[in-house]
Amino acid sequence: MTNPGIEFLEKTRYPDFSTVDMILRRPEPEEEMPVQEGADVIRLPDPKRIKIPDVSVRKAFEEWEPEAFFSRSSITLKELSFLLWSIQGYRKIKGNDQKLRNVPSSGLRYPIETFFVAGEVEGLETGLYRYLPHSHQIVAERVDSTLPFAMGTASMNFKLITRAAVTFLWVGIPYRSTWALGNRGFRSVLIEVGHICQALIMAASCIGCRVHPIDLFHDQIMIQLADLNPETQWPLYVGAVGKRDRDL
C-alpha cells in the first residue's frame, strides 16, 4: 500500500453494489453487542426526568478548548445518564423500523459502541462499562480500580485520564454499516464517531464539564483493555470528561 489515503477513497466510492450484503440477502448484524451471561446490568435514571441547566450553543462552542489538565472531580449517575443519552440514546422507538437517536447515522446503521471507564462516577465502582442504548442501561464489562491508569497509558494522556471523572472509548463495528452500504460504510463509521464526540462536548457543557478528545492512542493496548476482536471491533476515538479548577 503506497498511498493508503487514496486507496481508501478509491475503494469506498459509492455505489458499489457488489459489496452490499443486504442486497445479497446475507443476515443482518446485531444492533448491539450481546451482554455476556451473568454480567451486571445497571439501569440508568430516566434522562427525560433529569433537570439539566440550559446552555446556549454559542456558549458551549466558545467555552470549549483542548484540555491539558483536569482537577479531581466527579459526576453523578444522573449526569452520566444524560451524557450517554445525548450521545447515543433514543428519543423515539416505535416498532422495529421507526427509531430516532440523538446523533445522525448514514442509513440508520449506528455502527458505534460506547464503552467508558468510570473513574469518579457516584454510585459506580471504578471499571469498564458499556452503554446499551435500546434499554438505556449499562453493563459492567470489568470492575477494576487500575483501569483509569491503564486507559491513561493507552491514550498517552496519563495525568489527564487518571483525573477524569469518566473517559469514553468509542468502538466501531464496521459490518453494521457495510452490510447495508457496502465499502462506503467504512467512511460512515469514521464520520459518525465525530458526530458522537461533538455531541459529548455540547452535552458536557450543560453539566459544567469539559471534554478532551483523543485520537492518538496505542491501538493494541486499547484492544486488550476493552477485550475487543481486532478484526471486527475497532477502537476509534477517546473522550475524557472532567473539570478544571476554575470550573469547581
pLDDT at 33 exceeding the cut of 90: yes
∠ Cα 130 131 132 (to 5°): 120
- Per-residue pLDDT of 148-200, as tens digits, reads 999 999 998 888 999 999 999 999 999 999 999 999 999 999 999 999 999 99
Query: CA distances (Å), 213 to each of 89, 93, 192, 194, 232, in order?
Result: 20, 30, 14, 10, 23
Q: Which of 66-80, 115-129, 229-243 has the lowest mean pLDDT?
A: 66-80
Over the chain, what is the mean pLDDT?
92
Q: What is the pLDDT of residue 157?
A: 87
For residue 95, report the phi and psi dihedrals to the nearest 5 degrees: 65, -155
Confidence band for 107, pLDDT divided at 50, 70 and 90: very high
Number of H helices, E strands in the chain: 8, 9
Residues near 143 by Cβ (< 8 Å), separated by ≥ 6?
125, 126, 127
Identify the structural domains of the chain with CATH numbers, from first to last.
56-247 (3.40.109.10)
| Per-position b or e across 70-88, b if 16+ CB within 10 A of its CB | beebebebbbbbbbbbbbb
pTM of the model: 0.94
The predicted-structure confidence for 42-95, as pLDDT tens digits, reads as follows 999 999 899 998 899 999 989 888 888 898 889 999 999 999 999 999 987 766
Residue type at 161?
I
Residue-level pLDDT at 97: 61
